[in-house]
């Protein structure tokens, strides 16, 4: 069985790594990266051209851009199995304005918002909100089109920064709570939830600094309790699948507020870096579920997960998410993996001298598991400390919120009837 994975980042490396563990499969990647080349055959060319050459039995699309351009429609028109949404449904990620209007029309809980067409309308609309306030570019922005402004001056600066991404914006209220990534595999009628994950978007510790594509993530069933997961399925995922006949991966970026979960945004593909800990922790063979989604018969399908959490720490180039200098030699991956971690490559390339070097802003996703969250965190950071490249930057607090939540629950369990912790 031939499986084609479209993309070249850490998410796609994790997918290839997981799928290559299935019996009787041959993995291809278009275009792939040096890490993916360890488990797949990398093929140059546009996805359709590659598919014409290799004739895959199944294709899985990683990034959002080809989905928004309609790659799924092109493949299906030729009778080729593919996992992903059609072009119309992909607008749930391709346009923030489309998505917010969809939430409103569908009764899906979300932040209060207004949409604007130009800079002047945006300045006027700011008067309707308090601070902090959230500014979102309408189109695709690789995770960097969202700005949280703490006051009017930051809002004005944010509008100027987003001006280069087109004039259309969403301005919405700031929600308080913890963010959760809830991803479901869908076939147009049914949906199978993946384990919950939590992304870390800001570039610096403590969620400080500008947003990025994601500086790390962890996967742990304790992020949501079963009742919360059912509520999200019933109020967010199923209504969307029913209204759009959505196929592929529907990713709801949620804020868990005091009033319940509210949708911050939809993505129409697996998250990056959430895919890295998800694939690392998944116990099931993933191929049958993907095939069922592509063929429209997910009903009755389930996915199994290891009990222990997985943690992914992103190692980025100096300057990211701004300008960065590529071409820095990378050392220590073999040592990190010898210690039990899996290093997923994102922004890497092979230099003329055969040396692996940096080629992007987010370079590596260092991923490890443990019997509990603290053990998984420790394993991931031990591996990070084995890896070296000039200017390497990473957050040191990935999954720290999960630890605090676990300790709080533990303290509650230990509370006596007098309200004291013993």
The per-residue pLDDT for range 227-247, each reduced to its tens digit, is: 999 999 999 999 999 999 999
Q: Is the pLDDT of residue 119 over 90?
A: no
- Whole-prediction pTM value? 0.93
User: Distance from CA of residue 386 to its chain's centroid?
Assistant: 25
| One domain for residues 165 and 191 | no
216 Rama class: left (phi>0) / alpha (psi -120 to 50) / beta: left
Rounded to whole angstroms, how far apart are CA atoms 298 and 190? 6
Average the pLDDT over 347-357 and give the result: 98
> Pairing mode, if any, of strands 26-31 and 2-7?
parallel
Q: Is the pLDDT of residue 417 over 60?
A: no
| One domain for residues 368 and 250 | yes
**pLDDT confidence band for 167 (50 / 70 / 90):** confident
Neighbours of 227 (CB within 10 A): 8
Cβ contacts of 402-411, under 8 Å, gap ≥ 24: 402/198, 402/218, 402/220, 402/222, 402/223, 402/309, 402/373, 403/373, 403/374, 403/377, 405/178, 405/222, 406/222, 406/373
Q: Provide the percentage of residues in the chain whose pLDDT is more than 90.
A: 84
| One domain for residues 309 and 229 | yes
Q: Is the pLDDT of residue 51 over 90?
A: yes
Q: What is the pLDDT of residue 346?
A: 98
Average the pLDDT over 399-406 and give the result: 93
- Residues, the chain: 422
Q: How does the average pLDDT of the chain come out, rounded?
A: 94
Q: What is the pLDDT of residue 420?
A: 46
| One domain for residues 7 and 123 | no
| One domain for residues 265 and 192 | yes
Q: Is the pLDDT of residue 210 over 50?
A: yes
Q: Is the pLDDT of residue 422 over 80?
A: no
| One domain for residues 282 and 141 | no
**pLDDT confidence band for 413 (50 / 70 / 90):** low
Q: Is the pLDDT of residue 416 over 50?
A: no
- Inside any domain, residue 106: no
Q: Which secondary structure element, helix H or strand E, spans residue 208, and what is its range? A: strand 208-211
Q: What is the pLDDT of residue 415?
A: 58
**pLDDT confidence band for 141 (50 / 70 / 90):** confident
* Domains: count for the chain: 3
Q: What is the pLDDT of residue 97?
A: 94
3-state secondary structure of 182: strand
pLDDT tens digits along 65-87: 999 999 999 999 999 999 999 99
Question: What count of Cα atoms within 13 Å lies in the side-chain half-sphere of residue 248?
Answer: 34
Q: Give the residue carrying structure tokens 């895919």.
A: 275
Q: What is the pLDDT of residue 143?
A: 65
| One domain for residues 188 and 333 | yes
Neighbours of 287 (CB within 10 A): 20
| One domain for residues 65 and 198 | no
- Of the residues 173, 202, 219, the one at which a domain ends: 173
Domain extent, residue 130, equals 112-173
- Inside any domain, residue 191: yes
Written as six digits, the tokens of 81 are 């199995």
Alpha helix locations (H) across 20-151?
A: 47-54, 64-69, 71-77, 87-94, 96-106, 119-125
Q: What is the pLDDT of residue 125?
A: 87
Q: Check: CB of residue 155 under 8 Å from CB of residue 131.
A: yes
Average the pLDDT over 178-185 and give the result: 97
- Inside any domain, residue 410: no
Sheet strands side by side (includes 146-149): 113-116, 169-173, 133-137, 146-149
**pLDDT confidence band for 414 (50 / 70 / 90):** low
- For residue 244, the domain's CATH number is 3.30.470.20
Rounded to whole angstroms, how far apart are CA atoms 62 and 16? 10
- For residue 162, the domain's CATH number is 3.30.1490.20
Q: What is the DSSP letter of 21?
A: T
3-state secondary structure of 42: strand
| One domain for residues 165 and 249 | no
DSSP letter string over 238-281? HHHHHHH--EEEEEEEEEEETTEEEEEEEESS--TTTHHHHHHH
Rounded to whole angstroms, how far apart are CA atoms 353 and 84? 38
Average the pLDDT over 85-97 and give the result: 96
């Amino acid at each position: 069985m031939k499986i084609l994975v479209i993309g070249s980042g850490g998410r796609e490396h994790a997918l290839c790594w997981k799928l290559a563990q299935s019996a009787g499969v041959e993995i291809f990647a278009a275009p792939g990266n040096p890490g993916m080349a360890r488990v797949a055959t990398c093929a140059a060319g546009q996805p359709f051209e590659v598919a014409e050459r290799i004739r895959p039995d199944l294709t899985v699309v990683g990034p959002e851009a080809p989905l928004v351009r309609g790659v799924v429609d092109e493949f299906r028109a030729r009778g080729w199995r593919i996992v992903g949404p059609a072009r119309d449904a992909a607008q749930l990620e391709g346009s923030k304005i489309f998505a917010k209007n969809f939430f409103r029309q569908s009764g899906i809980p979300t932040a209060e918002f207004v949409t604007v067409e130009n800079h002047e309308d945006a300045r006027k609309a700011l008067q309707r909100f308090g601070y902090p306030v959230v500014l979102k570019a309408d189109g695709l922005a690789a995770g960097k089109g969202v700005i949280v402004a703490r006051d009017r001056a930051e809002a004005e600066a944010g509008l100027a920064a987003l001006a280069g991404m087109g004039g259309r914006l969403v301005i919405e209220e700031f929600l308080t709570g913890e963010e959760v990534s809830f991803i479901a595999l869908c076939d147009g009628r049914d949906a199978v939830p993946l384990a919950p994950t939590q992304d870390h978007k800001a570039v610096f510790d403590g969620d400080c600094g500008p947003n990025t594509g994601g500086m790390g993530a962890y996967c742990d069933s304790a992020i949501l309790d079963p009742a919360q997961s059912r509520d999200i399925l019933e109020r967010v995922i199923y209504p969307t699948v029913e209204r759009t006949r959505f196929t592929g991966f529907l990713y709801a970026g949620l804020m868990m507020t005091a009033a319940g979960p509210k949708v911050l945004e939809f993505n129409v593909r697996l998250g990056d870096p959430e895919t890295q800990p998800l694939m690392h922790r998944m116990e099931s063979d993933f191929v049958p579920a993907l095939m069922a989604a592509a063929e429209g018969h997910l009903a009755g399908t389930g996915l199994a997960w290891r009990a222990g959490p997985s943690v992914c720490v992103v190692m980025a180039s100096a300057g990211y998410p701004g300008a960065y200098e590529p071409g820095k030699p990378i050392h220590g991956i073999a040592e990190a993996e010898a210690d039990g971690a899996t290093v997923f490559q994102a922004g890497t390339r092979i230099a003329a001298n055969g040396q692996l070097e940096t080629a992007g802003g987010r370079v590596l996703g260092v991923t490890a598991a443990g019997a509990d969250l603290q053990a998984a965190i420790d394993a991931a950071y031990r591996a990070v400390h084995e890896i070296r490249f000039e200017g390497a930057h990473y957050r040191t607090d990935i999954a720290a919120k999960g630890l605090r939540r676990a300790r709080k629950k533990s303290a509650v369990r230990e509370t006596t009837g007098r309200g004291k912790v013993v």
